[in-house]
Amino acid sequence: MHVVIIGAYGSAGVSVADRLVDHVGEEITRLTLVDNGEPGGGLCILRGCMPSKEIISAAAHRYQARSDDRLDGSAPEMDLTSIVATKDQHINNFARHRRNHVHELTEHDGVELVRGTARFVDAETVELYEGRTVTGESPDQIQTDDEPSRTIDADYTAVCTGSRLNVPDIDGIDDVSYLDSADVLDATELPDSGIVMGFGYVGMEMAPYLAEAGVDLTVIEHDDRPLDHAPQEFGDEAMAIYREEFDIDILTGTREKRLEPTEDGGVRLYCESQAGSERAVEADQLFLFTGRRPSVDRLGLENAGISADPGFVEDTMQAADAETVFFAGDVNGKEPLLHIAKEQGQLTGQNILNDARGEGLQAYEFTPHHVMFAGAGVYPYARVGHTAETAREEFDDPIVTRRRAEDDGVFKTKDAPLGLAEMVVAPDGTVVGYQGLHYHADVMAKTLQLAVEMELDIREIPDRAFHPTTPEILDGLMREAKAELPE
């Protein structure tokens, strides 16, 4: 059995390989890893969660220094050259570790790494272009630099090619320059003003960094508030933090209509409010944080009978229209998160083995565990398990408790009094969910993951956080929930 993994340096691809490598020489005769990444390491390490948290931490230090009334003197300036250089040093080390691990896999007999690209001839046949790239932005434009170096009859193929920037279809987008999150990560100079399109998890993480670096921002928000999957109070709190703490102008209920360049090299955006009124916003630079889409354009999926429409991948990671092709990680369009990509990669490897053995495939099921480093990482948003809304769909009368950070004195003593948290408990006392938008909410996510996934009874969790530490807010939530349960 010959298995091909396209995108082997990424988090999902390496996880598939890790799951399969011990079976090479037994069930698997050949394992071919394909990746043309330069230098290679995967999206999260090179251009995603790792480098973004590096630069956000610098913004957090500046914000806390300038906003703390107990400190005297002017706020320090962010040295973008130093920030980027330090980020590059750390990221290069992380990426080298990933590459070394992939290279170690090739020390197994029957495992090879092809530095190049791949393209489907049909669902069971893959062309390799070693040391070359496949150009073109969509399948009907694909051209190759040369003939394929070789063709593989693949019993199974795991596609782990990640995601790419989702460029919105808006009039004038091709006439203006824009910077995406990857550009911001490498920028040692930034403009005086900017327009942000896209205020999801990428925009909410990048905007405070830009603001602390001195960029005067106008953000376009389609809805009445950000965090559209969270209760309204969380979105309202986030919006207040961005407006008041970072001086970001957020235009809510607003849609982009068209773009055009200005005479001085900037950008002008025409937009429309929900009420139908139009306005023009001008700035030096457009920042495009409009989400991600599966990176599949150059793979020739149409040759394999696969159309990358919503739902094209089953929960087993198997393509709906091709039983021998699996998609793991960002490329399947399900959840663009590192830890999920790793879990999906492991499941993909297992399901390839299961399918080859004639056994049933396992579906990917997970407890939502999302962390966004909002508010320059000082006020992160975290969600584990159910929200109040989703809990009410599954349980009769779930218990929902909520506390504001300012009601727990420890947040005031740490000069981070903003935000709120919510605990969701099933009627039988089982902890089923938590949301937090407050200082250290990201750290508490792991604790709540244990409580939710181990189905702990809230009455059995000790009412004892070390004082004065920020997890005291959890004790408060739990006490209030316990009070609503029968003895």
Torsion angle defined by CA atoms of residues 390, 394, 395 and 398, in that order, rounded to the nearest 10 degrees: -10
Query: Which residues does residue 215 pair with via DSSP β-bridges, in sequence order?
Result: none
Q: Which of 214, 189, 201 is nearest to 373 (CA)?
A: 201
pLDDT tens column, 79-128: 999 999 999 999 999 999 999 999 999 999 999 999 999 999 999 999 99
Please report where in the chains the tokens 């094209």 appear, as a residue. Answer: 312
- Side-chain-side CA neighbours of residue 319 (13 Å): 23
Name the CA radius of gyration of the chain, rounded.
24
Quickly name the fold that domain 173-290 has: FAD/NAD(P)-binding domain (3.50.50)
Q: Do 2-46+87-165+293-357 and 173-290 agree at the fold level?
A: yes
Query: Could you please report the per-residue DSSP string of 360-402?
Result: PPPPP----EEEE--GGGTS-EEEEE--HHHHHHHSSS-EEEE
Q: Are 348 and 16 in contact (CB under 8 A)?
A: yes
CATH superfamily entry for domain 380-483: FAD/NAD-linked reductase, C-terminal dimerisation domain (3.30.390.30)
Token pair belonging to 213: 């670096």
pTM beyond cutoff 0.75: yes
Quickly name the fold that domain 2-46+87-165+293-357 has: FAD/NAD(P)-binding domain (3.50.50)
pLDDT tens column, 211-254: 999 999 999 999 999 998 899 999 999 999 999 999 999 999 99
SS3 state at 145: coil
> What percent of the chain is predicted at pLDDT more than 70?
97
Give the pLDDT score at 132: 53
Residue 269 phi, psi (nearest 5): -115, 125
Domain ranges (residues) in the chain: 2-46+87-165+293-357, 173-290, 380-483
Give the pLDDT score at 145: 52
Q: Are 207 and 242 in contact (CB under 8 A)?
A: yes
Give the pLDDT score at 42: 82
The conformation of residue 72, written as its DSSP 8-state character, comes to -
Q: Are 458 and 373 in contact (CB under 8 A)?
A: no
In this structure, the strands spanning 30-34 and 111-114 are: parallel
Q: How far apart are CA 224 and CA 416, in angstroms?
A: 25
Q: Which of 397, 390, 395, 386 is nearest to 485 (CA)?
A: 397
Sheet holding 193-197, edge to edge: 178-179, 285-288, 193-197, 216-220, 249-251
